[in-house]
C-alpha cells in the first residue's frame, strides 16, 4: 500500500479566508479561541486511528498556544508552517513573505522544540501571482511546500501545475507537493476541506485510489474547526462563505474516521523525502 499524506491546517474559526472581509484582524484577540480544544480533538482522532500526520500551524496560534504545539510534536506528528496569520501569499511581496515565514518559524520552533521544514500557503495562495514564492521558500531552507492546488477555483489554483510532486526551482532541493484532485461530474475539486465535508466520502476515496494506482501518494487536508459544529456563527458573512464554512460540520469527524481506516497515512516530511528521492 502507498502511504498518503494526512495534513491539518491549524487555524481558528475566525482566521479563515471565507471571513477575511468581515472579521478584522484587530478584533481577533477578543474572539472565542477554540483552536486548542479542536486540535486536541484531532489529536485524539489520530491516536484512536493510530495514524501520524502533519500540522501546518499558524505562527499566531503557536505564539498563543505553545503547549498545544508541544503536544503535537510529542505525539509524533510533524509541526510545519502555515505562515504567521493566514495572510494570502499573493497579498505580499517577496520581502514581506520572507518576514512572514521567519516570524512564523520562530514561534513554531520555540513552542515545539523541533525544526520546521515544511510549509503550506494559506488558502493555497502560491499561484501565478507569486512567481517568486518558491524561490523564497528554497532560500529559507524549506524542504517541501504543499501550497499549490492544480485546479481552477474562484480563490486559488494553478490549473496547469503538475499533479504529483515536482521541483519548482531549478537547482534547488525544494519540492512542491500539490493537493490531490478529485473528479465530480466533470469538475475538478480538492480532496479535503469543504469539498470533503459536502461530497460523498467515496469521491475522495476514489481520488486516493486513483493516485495510489500510479504509486503516487495522495495529499489530503482539513482544519480543526471543521469538527466543531458549536463554533460561533458569523451572521454578516456572504451567503456563499457561510455555506462553505458551516455545511455538514457535524458529519466531519465520522467521515474522517472512515477515511483514516480506509488508507495508509503518514507525515508529510516522510512522504516528501520519498518523493525527493524519486525526483533525484
Q: What is the pLDDT of residues 15-67, one digit of tens each?
A: 999 999 999 999 999 999 999 999 999 999 999 999 999 999 999 999 999 99
Encode 115-141: b = buried (16+ Cβ within 10 Å), e = exposed.
ebbbbbbbbbbbbeebebbbbbbbebe
Q: What is the pLDDT of residues 194-214, one digit of tens each?
A: 999 999 999 999 999 999 999
pTM above 0.95, yes or no: yes
Q: What is the pLDDT of residues 3-17, one digit of tens each?
A: 999 999 999 999 999
Q: What is the pLDDT of residues 129-179, one digit of tens each?
A: 999 999 999 999 999 999 999 998 767 789 999 999 999 999 999 999 999
Q: Tell me the torsion sign for CA atoms 2, 6, 250, 155.
A: negative
| Residues ≥6 apart with Cβ < 8 Å to 208 | 4, 180, 191, 218, 220, 262, 263
pLDDT level of residue 223 (50, 70, 90 thresholds): very high
Encode 156-174: b = buried (16+ Cβ within 10 Å), e = exposed.
bbbeebeebbebbbeeeeb
> How far is the C-alpha of 51 from the C-alpha of 200, rounded, in Å?
22
pLDDT level of residue 185 (50, 70, 90 thresholds): confident
> How far is the C-alpha of 80 from the C-alpha of 119, rounded, in Å?
6
> How far is the C-alpha of 100 from the C-alpha of 96, rounded, in Å?
6
pLDDT at 8: 98
pLDDT level of residue 270 (50, 70, 90 thresholds): very high
pLDDT at 157: 81
Q: Is the pLDDT of residue 228 over 90?
A: yes
pLDDT at 49: 98
pLDDT at 186: 84
Count of CB atoms within 10 A of residue 52's CB? 17
Q: Tell me the torsion sign for CA atoms 32, 38, 39, 40.
A: positive
Amino acid at each position: 500500500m502507498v502511504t498518503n499524506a494526512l495534513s491539518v491546517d491549524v487555524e481558528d474559526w475566525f482566521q479563515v479566508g471565507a471571513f477575511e472581509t468581515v472579521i478584522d484582524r484587530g478584533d481577533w484577540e477578543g474572539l472565542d479561541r477554540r483552536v486548542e480544544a479542536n486540535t486536541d480533538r484531532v489529536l485524539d482522532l489520530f491516536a484512536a486511528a493510530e495514524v501520524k500526520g502533519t500540522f501546518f500551524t499558524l505562527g499566531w496560534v503557536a505564539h498563543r498556544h505553545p503547549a498545544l504545539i508541544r503536544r503535537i510534536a510529542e505525539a509524533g506528528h510533524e509541526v510545519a508552517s502555515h505562515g504567521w496569520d493566514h495572510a494570502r501569499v499573493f497579498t505580499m511581496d517577496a520581502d514581506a513573505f520572507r518576514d512572514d515565514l521567519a516570524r512564523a518559524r520562530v514561534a513554531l520552533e520555540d513552542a515545539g522544540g523541533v525544526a520546521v521544514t515544511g510549509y503550506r500557503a494559506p488558502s493555497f495562495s502560491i499561484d501565478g501571482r507569486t512567481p517568486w514564492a518558491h524561490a523564497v521558500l528554497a532560500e529559507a531552507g524549506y524542504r517541501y511546500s504543499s501550497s499549490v492546488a492544480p485546479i481552477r477555483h474562484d480563490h486559488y489554483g494553478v490549473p496547469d501545475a503538475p499533479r504529483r510532486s515536482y521541483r519548482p526551482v531549478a537547482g534547488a532541493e525544494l519540492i512542491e507537493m500539490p493537493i490531490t484532485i478529485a473528479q465530480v461530474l466533470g469538475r475538478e475539486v480538492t480532496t479535503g476541506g469543504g469539498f470533503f465535508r459536502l461530497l460523498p466520502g467515496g469521491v475522495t476515496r476514489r481520488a486516493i485510489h486513483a493516485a495510489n494506482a500510479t504509486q503516487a501518494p495522495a495529499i489530503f487536508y482539513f482544519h480543526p474547526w471543521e469538527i466543531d459544529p458549536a463554533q460561533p456563527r458569523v451572521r454578516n458573512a456572504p451567503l456563499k462563505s457561510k455555506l462553505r464554512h458551516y455545511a455538514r460540520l457535524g458529519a466531519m469527524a465520522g467521515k474522517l474516521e472512515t477515511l483514516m481506516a480506509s488508507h495508509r497515512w503518514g507525515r508529510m516530511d516522510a512522504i516528501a523525502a520519498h518523493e525527493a528521492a524519486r525526483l533525484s
